[in-house]
Amino acid sequence: MSREQSYSNYDFDRGVELREIETKSHEISYIPIFKNDFFITTSVGKDNILMHVPLELIALTDKKYFLGVVNKKEIWCIDLSDIELTIISDFLSYSELRCVRDCFHIINEKEASLLAYAKGISNWNNTHQFCNNCGSKTIKEEKGHRRKCVNNLCNSLHFPRINPAVIVLIEYKPKKSPPLCLLNMQEKEYGYMCSLFSGFSEIGESLEDTVKREMKEEVDLMVDDIEYIASQPWSFPSSLMLGFSARTKNKKFKVDNKEIKKAQWFSANQINKMVQENKLIVSKNDSISNYLIELWVKQNS
């Protein structure tokens, strides 16, 4: 069984049944967001991400979105992006703005999943202020999980959508030497950052179709033996990453020079050696790319 990916939290109660019920409890904690960053605190005795937001500040915005329930307490995201930062700072002086992907040393995995969820739902509400059917304004319903067109001749309902994307580890198995995997290489000042190959599914495609098309487009390889490994929610802003492995019978590849500038075959031992020598970084730790590469290295070392 694969590990739980960063930004996922299957234990979290989203309280779907509460989305159409007026909140009566005063037991509410907020996750304040400002222009895609979050107010985080490391003060002793205070929660890192769940905060008591003063009523005076809550009254300044209607951008409040219900996330779920923790210990019988409702959790909401409150988007403060339209308020002057100096005003916000007066109320939340014990916290500081942080990007969720840069504060894993402060918060835990479950907190990170809540921040990513909050980021995704607030972004969706901000980008769907108008009906894409008739152009009229939309209003928030179901505490931010549905928007309705105000035009009585339209009355369209809009729901958050996710965009499925595949991310693929391509493997080549020589007859008399260890297996190789192809890595996307990005040059850094200290060496290389490596990652895998990915792309969004298109209308009319299965996930397997997407894997084959994207690998052909990006590195000119035909792949088969496609196997699903794991998935990861990626609310930056609204993707779902679906991780696969696939094999190719042809070692010769060609990068597209658009999305992919450089790629290289590696054995598991070569990856281990370069990582130990600080010449290679295996993606960011919070990515499914990191997980898929490390899993393959472990299986082939």
Q: Is the pLDDT of residue 74 over 70?
A: yes
Average pLDDT over every residue of 112-125: 96
Q: What mean pLDDT, rounded, does the chain reach?
A: 93
Output the 3-class SS for 227-277: EEEEEEEECCCCEEEEEEEEECCCCCCCCCCCCCCCEEEECHHHHHHHHHC
The pLDDT value recorded for residue 43 is: 64
The answer to whether residues 41 and 94 touch, using CB atoms and an 8 Å cutoff, is yes
Question: Which amino acid is residue 49, in one-letter code?
Answer: I
- The closest of 144, 243, 136, 126 to 196, measured between CA atoms, is 243
Residue 186 has pLDDT above 90, yes or no: yes
- Bridge partners of 33, per DSSP, are 38, 79
Helix pair angle (268-276, 288-300), 10° resolution:
120
Residue boundaries of the structural domains of the chain: 16-127, 130-161, 163-300
For residues 56 and 51, give the distance between their C-alpha atoms in angstroms, rounded to a whole number. Answer: 14
The distance in angstroms from the start CA to the end CA of the chain is 19
Give the helix/strand (H/E) hosting 186: strand 180-188
Rounded mean pLDDT, 80-97: 90
pLDDT exceeds 70 at position 31: yes
Could you please state the CATH topology (level 3) that the domain comprising 16-127 is classified under: Nucleoside Triphosphate Pyrophosphohydrolase (3.90.79)
pLDDT tens digit sequence for 234-260 = 999 899 999 999 999 999 999 999 999
CATH topology for 163-300 is Nucleoside Triphosphate Pyrophosphohydrolase (3.90.79)
Strands of 7-131, DSSP E: 28-34, 37-40, 64-70, 73-79, 96-98
Residue 130 pLDDT exceeds 60: yes
**Does position 1 have pLDDT exceeding 50, yes or no?**
no
Topology match between the domains 16-127 and 163-300:
yes
Contacts for 240 with CB less than 8 Å, ≥ 6 apart: 162, 163, 164, 165, 231, 232, 233, 234
Kindly report the pTM of this predicted structure: 0.92
